[in-house]
Amino acid sequence: MKVLVVGRGGREHSIIMKLNESEKVTKLYAAPGNAGIASLAECVEIDEMNIASLVQFAKDKQVDLTVVGPENPLNAGIANHFQKEGLAIFAPTEEAALLEGSKSFAKEFMQRYDVPTADYAVFSSAEKAKVYIKEKGAPIVIKADGLAAGKGVIVALTEEEALAAADDMLVSKAFAEAGATIVIEEFLAGKEFSLMAFVHENQVYPMVTARDHKRAFDNDEGPNTGGMGAYAPLEDVSQTDLDFSIENTLLRTANGMIAEGRPFTGILYAGLIMTEQGPKVIEFNTRFGDPETQVVLPLLENDLLQVFLDVLAGKDPQLAWKDEASLGVVVASAGYPGLYKKEVKLPLLQSGSNPFIVHAGTRLKNEKFVSDGGRVLLVGATAPTMTAAREKVYETLRPLEQSKEFFFRTDIGK
């Protein structure tokens, strides 16, 4: 089968690495892909938002299945366009992707279907938002309603910080249209975890739990990023809490989406937090998480293409997982998530199939890898224990310890 993966980051490289193991795959395409992906798939110079060209390419090349990585094309309706042309695609429709595309829609949906989440209020007026913040006090969470590349969330520990965040989003338009409406939520204390599942309408097949580290620096300090590392599975999420989350979050959401006339097919990602009342939803994503995918997929024993085909056909893919630990650390450009330089030559890091290197923001220049984004690489490994996986990863990263051009967290998985 010919498979097209849409996207250019680490998540897509990880998906392609897994699809490359399948004996059913005869040809892999990536649009637009990156320098690391180019060694496994044919990269096609079509932007992930150029949906008409992606449809035409899939028709011309007789692509059997398209898999979509990033959120923006999902919310622009890529699945609807492919389906209209009779092309198989593993991705939610524009209507279903709204679960990630609008925080206010997601909160109202969870309220309607009794999915456990934080109390909230929605505002488009800065003055009204500030009155609410003063009434509630801090800590409090301010979120841009729309897509903001994982950066539109401010956990304000003081009232001043919260008021400034409301002004940034609603007055200064820090996130443009994505922040024209904001959601203000109660602050939930507890350990966070990610739970992804393959979903087709009311059928839900959960993956192993994972944890992403969002803050830029060690000890969870610094600004929020798209993710600085992850590990899976989690020993501190009990089977009882996992069953509760599958039942009350994933299944309830899948059934609720059917009731709303927006049946969901694709990857449903629940970002959860363990509170004293049990697990609650912080956010939904409607695609594979990044960087969680890079540590979860190496633990999957199944043929990933067969999983996609089974789920689309309404069949149980019988997911099987390795009894191992998986951990990955992101190497980022100095300055990220703020301003950073591109086209910086990448250091040579020793790797093979384990430890493995996943490319996120890279490209080739004069046949050498150079940086092309904020998050550049992820170095990952699997091992019988989390400690052993960590040791493998940080041993590989040793040449970068003194780098002025790149940085990484030294406490992933601790």
Biggest distance spanned by C-alpha atoms of the chain: 60
How many CA atoms, within 13 angstroms, populate the side-chain half-sphere of residue 21?
15
pLDDT score recorded for residue 369: 92
What average pLDDT does this structure show over 387-414? 95
Q: Read off the pTM.
A: 0.94
Supply the pLDDT for residue 170.
85
Q: Is the pLDDT of residue 13 over 90?
A: yes
Long-range contacts of 170-179 (CB under 8 A, 24+ apart): 170/123, 170/124, 170/125, 170/126, 170/129, 171/126, 175/144, 175/146, 175/148, 175/151, 177/146, 178/144, 178/145, 178/146, 178/147, 178/148, 178/152, 179/144, 179/145, 179/146, 179/148, 179/152
pLDDT score of 98: 96
C-alpha distances out from residue 225 to 90, 149, 205, 306, 410, Å: 27, 9, 28, 33, 16
Q: Which residues pair with 333 in a beta bridge?
A: 406
CA distances from 191 to 109, 174, 387 (A): 24, 29, 20
Average pLDDT over residues 301-305: 98
Fold of 325-407: Glycinamide Ribonucleotide Synthetase; Chain A, domain 4 (3.90.600)
The domain 192-312 is placed in CATH, from the list 3.30.470.20, 2.160.20.10, 3.40.50.1100, 3.30.465.10, at 3.30.470.20
> CA-CA distance, 409 to 405, in Å (whole number)?
14
**Residue 167: per-residue pLDDT:** 87
Which pLDDT belongs to residue 150? 63
Within 10 angstroms of residue 131's Cβ, the number of other Cβ atoms is: 12
Mean pLDDT estimate for the chain: 94
Task: Give the model confidence (pLDDT) of 40-73 as tens digits.
Answer: 999 999 999 999 999 999 999 999 999 999 999 9
Task: Please state the rounded mean pLDDT for residues 226-236.
Answer: 95
Which sequence spans correspond to the domains of the chain? 2-93, 125-180, 192-312, 325-407
In this structure, the strands spanning 356-359 and 375-383 are: antiparallel
> What's residue 27's pLDDT?
98
Percentage of residues in the chain with pLDDT exceeding 90?
Answer: 82
pLDDT per residue over 136-190, tens digit each? 888 999 988 878 766 688 888 999 989 999 988 888 887 777 778 888 999 998 9
Per-residue pLDDT reduced to its tens digit, 101-126: 999 999 999 999 999 999 999 998 88
Could you say which of 3.30.460.80, 3.30.540.10, 1.10.3720.10, 3.30.1490.20 is the CATH number of the domain covering 125-180? 3.30.1490.20
pLDDT digits (tens, 9 = 90+) for 242-272: 999 999 999 999 999 999 999 999 999 999 9
Q: How confident is the model at residue 213 (pLDDT cuts 50, 70, 90)?
A: very high
Query: Which CATH topology does 2-93 take?
Result: Rossmann fold (3.40.50)
Q: Which of 128, 360, 340 is nearest to 226 (CA)?
A: 360
What is the reported pLDDT for 94?
98
Percent helix, percent strand, percent coil in the chain, to nearest 5: 35, 30, 40
pLDDT score of 223 more than 90: no
